[in-house]
Structure 1
């Protein structure tokens, strides 16, 4: 059975993406899948798009892909606005073709947030300015009537694998390119993984293993700073 590297939340961080792909290849991965939020950020969005388009992995749209295509430029957040201004028509055409969910195999589903909402957190629940592990009842509600043995999600940037009481598994590989951020949906909160490592997961035979990879994160930090985003 093939060994699949699952990536999500690259956010235009090309050096982190390249480090993950090299590490996954060294670990014997022969297939790759991407769970979205691939480009938005003050880093290398167009270059990351070119990299991904050339490889043609199974890829879905995250909330940032949807926002890039549907939100008026004047109302975009800073990451989407920066990305919008450097993407070419061919990049936008690629984004338009991405589905919101995708069956990677008969028993493996790819989604960004949850199967029905690209902004909903699957494995964590936001409260009191942070995020806690979701309860089994919350997990079942978010999974809905999907019967996939394995649901792979992104969006929160927090790596986690949880088994539902009914035997299904939900896993988040963690972010390739952004290990800390703050947001105001569904309420103000902050996520911090505590290190700059690029994260991904390997799926083989239904088992999910989480991995973290060192890369030249200082170069990415300097790039963000030069593009007006010291935050």
Structure 2
């Protein structure tokens, strides 16, 4: 089974359209969205409605939760007062333009999606979260201590855990040997469609392949492909500059940060 997973569109409609076109070309068996449909750009309603039109199973991101609940907080960990001020401008603008029906949709998105496979007498659990299983806005960076990341996955009973939120893609294989038998877990950050932060302005999503002979005892049991795609960055950046949003967000798109 080939599964496409994408996340963190952040109201960037040109990026979403290019992402979905690329996904269509790969013809996956299933498609999932890991949240943060809105914020930082001018097309939150259009992004929500494209996801709904395609009936893509979607979980809530922290930004979706903040807009859905109208609590004025995106749950973002801004490092400086300047960044915090930019973030407040973003959530205030998004709150002002999101329509009632789209807001209701965001408010009712599920927190997690769990998919259980039964292969070769093994149970293989795929868990989809936005930040982490513990908290919607927890950042799981690539340099996370291995024991900490492994503990999070074990507590969530996740053999494959896919997540977003940091906007920085990676795949880590975490080996354990409970009862003397090898057990490999996979932590996969699927990157960002509409607001990359790894110094590459291209959007990113993941193609996850689970084979008929996949097993938790085989570290190569799954295949993870990070797909980078081009989109019209200038159109997305210019839309920001022509809106009340801070121009800083336009430069972030251009630089992939």
Fold conserved (TM > 0.5)?
Answer: yes
Which of 92, 106, 119 is equivalent to 1:95? Answer: 106
1:162 aligns with 2:165: no
User: Where does residue 197 of structure 1 map in the other structure?
Assistant: 202
Q: Which runs of 4+ in 1 moved over 6 A?
A: none
User: Where does residue 150 of structure 1 map in the other structure?
Assistant: 160
CA 1:78 to 1:144, structure 2 compared with 1: closer, same or farther past 3 Å? farther
CA 1:104 to 1:87, structure 2 compared with 1: closer, same or farther past 3 Å? farther
User: Where does residue 80 of structure 1 map in the other structure?
Assistant: 91
Cα distance in structure 2, aligned partners of 1:173 and 1:92: 25
Aligned length: 210
Cα distance in structure 2, aligned partners of 1:32 and 1:213: 17
TM-score normalized by the length of structure 2: 0.76
User: Where does residue 27 of structure 1 map in the other structure?
Assistant: 26
User: Where does residue 225 of structure 2 map in the other structure?
Assistant: 209
Alpha-carbon distance, 1:30 to partner: 3.4
Q: Secondary structure at the match of 1:6?
A: strand
1:119 aligns with 2:130: no
5+ residue gaps, structure 1, are 125-132, 181-192
Q: Secondary structure at the match of 1:77?
A: helix
Alpha-carbon distance, 1:143 to partner: 2.5
Alpha-carbon distance, 1:77 to partner: 2.1
Computing the radius of gyration over CA atoms, which structure comes out larger, 1 or 2? 2
TM-score normalized by the length of structure 1: 0.85
CA deviation digits over 1:172-207, x for unaligned, max 9?
110000023xxxxxxxxxxxx122101000011132
5+ residue gaps, structure 2, are 75-86, 118-124, 177-183, 211-221, 249-257
CA 1:27 to 1:217, structure 2 compared with 1: closer, same or farther past 3 Å? same
